[in-house]
């Protein structure tokens, strides 16, 4: 009888959990964009949310993955297409450009100078703060494969993980907030 | 004016968003529950950000003062 009750209780718990998703004080964010402006917004919101006491999980996918490349790292054994992608995509967060007013790179340089003048944190600083505050970064494995990136080419970041869409969805459904940037 | 017996002064002048809330979230744990941190900031966004941060994290903004381009915010640790 008590075993029966235990099973019923666990089934009931599961049902209640399914009825009440989004109860955790957590932000699940997709970082799809590889543009400087959108990455800045993503990192400012992520660090801000962590400062507000929220758990933050960022999923980098598609163009966003290029921002996580480590320019100092190299990978061997890449095929022709992967090498092409490697040359054409930004090699890390300091090579990404503005989505508007880039003007052949001039706009991006001007924006970075302006940010320095205004003391606004750079992407480098924001990633540092994110790591300090425990912001979790997950990378879409399929995007890595599509772009031809290898794990050893990506940045050093605490507990960096390579995941699929189900991981994002599992986090998203139990989070109070979800964003797609 | 009363200084709320602040046990710590946090100088965040010149730091823009999101640094003020990042710093207070890192520093609040360095004082005891019931103690007060006095924050100096030049970021006007802090006027609304600190109360929002306090409400979410369960702490309290006791008072906000403005003058000479510097904003003083008194934050009490409640938990």
Q: What is the pLDDT of residue A62?
A: 96
Please answer yes or no on whether B53 and A52 come within 8 Å at the CB atom: yes
Chain B CB contacts of A121 under 8 Å are: 16, 18-19
Sheet holding B8-12, edge to edge: B8-12, B36-41, B70-76, B60-67
Q: Per residue of chain B (79 residues), what is the pLDDT tens digit?
A: 567 889 999 999 999 889 999 999 999 999 999 999 999 999 988 998 999 899 889 999 999 999 888 999 999 999 8
Query: In this complex, which of B14, B18, B24 lies closest to A44 when CB atoms are compared?
Result: B18
Distance CA A32, CA B33 (A): 41
Residue B66's SS3 state is strand
The count of domains in chain B is 1
**CB-based contact A52 B24, cutoff 8 Å:** no
| B3, part of any domain | no
Q: What is the DSSP letter of A116?
A: H
State how many domains chain A has: 1
Q: What is d(CA A78, CA A152) in angstroms, rounded to the nearest whole number?
A: 12
Q: In whole angstroms, how far apart are CA B51 and each of A67, A97, A146? A: 33, 34, 44
The CATH number of whichever domain residue B19 belongs to comes to: 3.30.110.40
Closest approach of B8 to chain A, Cα-based (Å): 19
Mean confidence (pLDDT) of chain A: 93
pLDDT-based confidence at residue A23 (cuts at 50, 70, 90): confident
**Min Cα–Cα distance to chain A from B14, Å:** 7
Residue A35 has a pLDDT of 97
Is residue A7 assigned to a domain? no
Residue A39's pLDDT is 98
Domain hosting B24: range is: 8-76
B16 and A52: CB-CB below 8 Å?
no
The pLDDT of residue A161 is above 80: yes
Whole-angstrom Cα distance, residue A93 to residue A82?
Answer: 19
Q: Where in the sequence is the domain holding A41, given as residue range(s)?
A: 22-180
CB contact under 8 A, A51 and B15: no
Interface confidence (ipTM) of the complex: 0.78
Residue A5 included in any domain: no
Does residue A62 sit in helix, strand or coil? helix
pLDDT at A24: 87
Note the pLDDT of residue B2. Answer: 64
Q: Is A140 a member of any domain?
A: yes
Distance in Å, alpha carbon of B74 to nearest chain A alpha carbon: 17
Q: How far apart are CA A71 and CA A4, in angstroms?
A: 58
**pLDDT tens digit sequence for A38-77:** 999 999 999 999 999 999 999 999 999 999 999 999 888 8
Contact A121 B14 (CB under 8 A): no
Cα torsion A15, A24, A163, A97 to 10°: value is: 140
Among all residues of B, which ones are annotated catalytic? 17
Query: Is residue B56 assigned to a domain?
Result: yes
Q: How do residues A84-116 score in pLDDT, each as one tens digit? A: 999 999 999 999 999 999 999 999 999 999 999
Average pLDDT value for residue range A17-30? 84
The CATH number covering residue A121 comes to 3.40.1260.10
Domain presence at residue B24? yes
| A41 part of contact set with chain B, CB < 8 Å | no
In this prediction, residue A16 carries a pLDDT of 79
Spatial distance between the Cα atoms of A145 and B54, rounded to a whole number of angstroms: 43
Q: How confident is the model at residue A154 (pLDDT cuts 50, 70, 90)?
A: very high
CA distance A50 to B40: 21
Q: Tell me whether residue A148 is in a domain.
A: yes
Instruction: Give a yes or no: residue B13 inside a domain.
Output: yes
Residue A93 lies in a domain: yes
Residue A78 lies in a domain: yes
- Asked if B24 and B37 count as a contact pair (C-beta separation under 8 A), the reply is yes
Percentage above 70 pLDDT, chain A: 98
| Element housing B61 (H / E) | strand B60-67
- Calpha distance A146→A154 (Å, rounded): 15
Q: Are B21 and A48 a contacting pair at CB < 8 A?
A: yes
DSSP string, A10-56: HHHHHHHHHHS-S-EEEEEEEE----HHHHHHHHHHHHHHHHTT-EE
| Chain B neighbors of A54, CB-CB under 8 A | 56
* Nearest-by-CA chain A residue for B52: A52
Q: What are the start-end ranges of the E strands in chain A?
A: 24-31, 55-60, 136-140, 161-163, 175-180
Domain assignment present for A155: yes
Q: What are the Cα distances from residue A42, in Å, to A50, A180, B41, B66, B72?
A: 12, 9, 23, 30, 28
Give me the pLDDT at residue B68, please.
Answer: 83
pLDDT, tens digit, for every residue of A118-132?
Answer: 999 999 999 999 999
pLDDT band at A3 (very low <50, low <70, confident <90, very high): confident
């Amino acid at each position: 009888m008590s075993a029966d009750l235990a099973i019923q209780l666990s089934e009931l718990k599961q049902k209640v959990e399914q009825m009440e998703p989004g109860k955790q004080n957590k932000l699940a964010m997709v970082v799809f964009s590889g543009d400087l402006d959108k990455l800045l917004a993503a990192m400012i919101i992520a660090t801000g949310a962590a400062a507000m006491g929220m758990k933050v999980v960022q999923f980098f996918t598609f163009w966003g993955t290029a921002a996580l490349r480590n320019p100092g790292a190299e990978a061997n054994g890449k095929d022709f297409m992967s090498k092409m992608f490697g040359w054409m995509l930004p090699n890390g967060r300091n090579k990404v450009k503005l989505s508007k007013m880039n003007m052949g790179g001039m706009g991006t340089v001007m924006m970075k100078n302006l940010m320095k003048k205004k003391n606004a944190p750079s992407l480098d600083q924001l990633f540092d703060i994110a790591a300090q505050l425990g912001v979790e970064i997950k990378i879409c494995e399929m995007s890595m494969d599509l772009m031809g990136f290898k794990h050893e080419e990506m940045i050093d970041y605490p507990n960096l993980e390579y995941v699929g869409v189900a991981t994002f969805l599992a986090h998203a459904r139990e989070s109070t907030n979800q964003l797609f940037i | 004016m009363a200084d709320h017996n602040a046990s710590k002064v946090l100088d965040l002048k010149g730091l823009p968003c999101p640094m003020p809330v990042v710093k207070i979230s890192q520093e609040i744990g360095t004082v005891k529950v019931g103690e007060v941190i006095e924050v100096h900031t030049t970021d006007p966004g802090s006027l609304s950000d600190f109360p929002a941060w306090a409400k979410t994290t369960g702490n309290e903004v006791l008072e906000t003062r403005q003058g000479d381009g510097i904003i003083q915010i008194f934050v009490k640790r409640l938990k």
